């Protein structure tokens, strides 16, 4: 409360005409009301009431305080209401993490529909770095710096980080490689899968992507001499390193920005994942409403 609470009690006494009736209206004892008025008079340095057996009447100073108190209480009440409303609006902001590898284009294309479903919600885009630690930290601490993260996922990924998600599109897996790799001359038919025997391919560590785990199992059967090298999370640095080596990397077509320096080849088998919006498993009310709006917008697309 922005004003001295004794002012509110003072107004109640004036309007009730006695300490007893004011106390009944407020829900406290008459002695507590008297104490608050005494403290108010001590603070002001003036007497605000003439007391008699018939009740209380305002002194001249009290009449002046009453007029000003009514204004102060009303003004402060309006100020508090405005502050609470601004706070509610602030809480209706959803922070969406994007990056060069995970741009917001698909989500932005749905924005008119999302806005029509939840017009009170505002979005703020925040950047996460596509480096070795940025994405993993963002997913592990979702809700702190960002409420929603755009990216590639499947059921294993959501379980690994404890996330909820809405699929915006499917994204097939492929193998990306440097056009300068020493073995490129062996790969003549660009439309067919390449023999990975004797080659090294970078694959996410087990348990993060179900599609990557499926590829790992099948690759060992199809190419007994393939070398599978684990990594924790996708990053631009990983793609850049691949561009400077003879290694391949299991990638997803939606990450064109990540492998723009690389060429891609199809794989034997379907290792499809999803690209979409991810949030905490049990998000705050506003974030939950936003995710549901995204879901409806996708369904009605």
Nearest to 92 by CA among 278, 295, 288: 288
Distance (Å, whole) CA 116 – CA 166:
18
The answer to whether the CB of 102 falls within 8 A of the CB of 256 is: no
Mean pLDDT, residues 83-108: 77
Greatest Cα-to-Cα distance within the chain, rounded to the nearest angstrom: 110
> What is the per-residue pLDDT across 103-125, written as a single tens digit (0 to 9) for each?
899 999 999 999 999 998 999 99
> What pLDDT is stored for residue 1 in this prediction?
43
- pLDDT confidence of residue 36: 86
Look at residue 84 and tell me whether its pLDDT is greater than 80: no
Asked if 65 contacts 44 with a C-beta cutoff of 8 angstroms, the reply is yes
* 286 CB-near residues (< 8 Å, 6+ apart): 91, 92, 93, 94, 121
CATH of span 173-271: 3.40.190.10
Provide the CATH topology of domain 5-90: Arc Repressor Mutant, subunit A (1.10.10)
| Dihedral angle sign, alpha carbons of residues 163, 125, 288, 112 | negative
pLDDT given at position 83? 57
- How confident is the model over 85-89, as a mean pLDDT? 53
The pLDDT assigned to 38 comes to: 87
Question: End-to-end alpha-carbon separation of the chain, Å?
Answer: 48
Residue 72's pLDDT band (cuts 50, 70, 90): confident
State the CATH class of domain 92-171+274-299: alpha beta
pLDDT value, residue 91: 57
3-state secondary structure the chain: CCCCHHHHHHHHHHHHCCHHHHHHHHCCCHHHHHHHHHHHHHHHCCCCEEEECCEEEECHHHHHHHHHHHHHHHHHHHHHHHHHHHHHHHHCEEEEEECCCCCCHHHHHCHHHHHHHCCCCEEEEEECCCCCCHHHHHHHCCCCCCCEEEEEECHHHHHHHCEEEEEEEEECEEEEECCCCCCHHHCCCCCCCCCCCCCEEEEECCCCCHHHHHHHHHHHHHCCCCEEEEECCCCHHHHHHHHCCCCEEEEECCCCCCCCCCEEECCCCCCCEEEEEEEECCCCHHHHHHHHHHHHHHHCC
Q: Give the pLDDT score at 173.
A: 93
213-242: per-residue pLDDT in tens?
Answer: 999 999 999 999 999 999 988 888 889 899
Tell me the pTM. Answer: 0.66
Domain boundaries, the chain: 5-90, 92-171+274-299, 173-271
* Rounded distance between C-alpha atoms, residue 278 and residue 148, angstroms: 5
- Read off the pLDDT of residues 19-59 as tens digits, 9 standing for 90 and up: 888 888 888 888 888 888 888 888 888 888 888 777 788 88
Task: Tell me how far apart the alpha carbons of residues 58 and 46 are, in angstroms, rounded to a whole number.
Answer: 12
| pLDDT, tens only, 144-179 | 888 999 999 999 999 989 999 999 999 999 999 999
How high is the pLDDT of residue 7? 78
Residue 85 has pLDDT above 60, yes or no: no
- pLDDT tens per residue, range 256-276: 766 678 898 899 988 999 999
Alpha-carbon span 11 to 7, nearest angstrom: 6
Domains 92-171+274-299 and 173-271 share a fold: yes
Task: Please give the pLDDT value at position 2.
Answer: 44
Q: Is 24 left (phi over 0), alpha (psi -120 to 50) or beta?
A: alpha
């Amino acid at each position: 409360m922005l004003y001295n609470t004794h002012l509110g009690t003072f107004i109640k006494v004036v309007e009730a005409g006695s300490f007893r009736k004011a106390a009944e209206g407020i829900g406290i004892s008459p002695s507590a009301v008297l104490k608050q008025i005494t403290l108010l008079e001590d603070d002001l340095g003036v007497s605000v009431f003439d007391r008699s057996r018939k009740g209380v009447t305002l002194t001249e100073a009290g009449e002046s305080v009453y007029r000003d108190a009514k204004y102060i209480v009303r003004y402060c009440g309006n100020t508090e209401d405005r502050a609470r409303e601004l706070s509610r609006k602030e809480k209706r902001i959803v922070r969406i993490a994007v990056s060069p590898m995970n741009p917001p284009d698909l989500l932005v294309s749905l924005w008119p529909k999302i806005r029509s479903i939840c017009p009170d919600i505002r979005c703020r885009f925040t950047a996460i770095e596509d480096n070795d630690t940025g994405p993993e930290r963002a997913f592990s601490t979702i809700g702190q710096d960002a409420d929603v993260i755009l990216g590639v996922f499947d059921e294993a990924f959501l379980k690994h980080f404890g996330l909820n998600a809405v699929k915006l599109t499917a994204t097939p897996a492929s193998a990306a490689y440097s056009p300068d790799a020493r073995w490129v001359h062996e790969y003549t038919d660009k439309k067919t899968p390449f023999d990975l025997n004797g080659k090294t391919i970078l694959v996410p560590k087990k348990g993060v992507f179900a599609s990557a785990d499926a590829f790992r199992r099948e690759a060992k059967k199809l190419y007994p001499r393939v070398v599978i090298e684990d990594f924790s999370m996708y990053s631009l640095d990983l793609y850049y390193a691949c561009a400077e080596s003879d290694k391949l990397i299991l990638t997803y077509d939606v990450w064109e920005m990540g492998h723009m320096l690389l060429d891609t080849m199809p794989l034997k088998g379907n290792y499809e994942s999803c690209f979409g919006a991810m949030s905490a498993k049990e998000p705050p009310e506003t974030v939950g409403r936003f995710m549901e709006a995204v879901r409806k917008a996708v369904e009605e697309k």
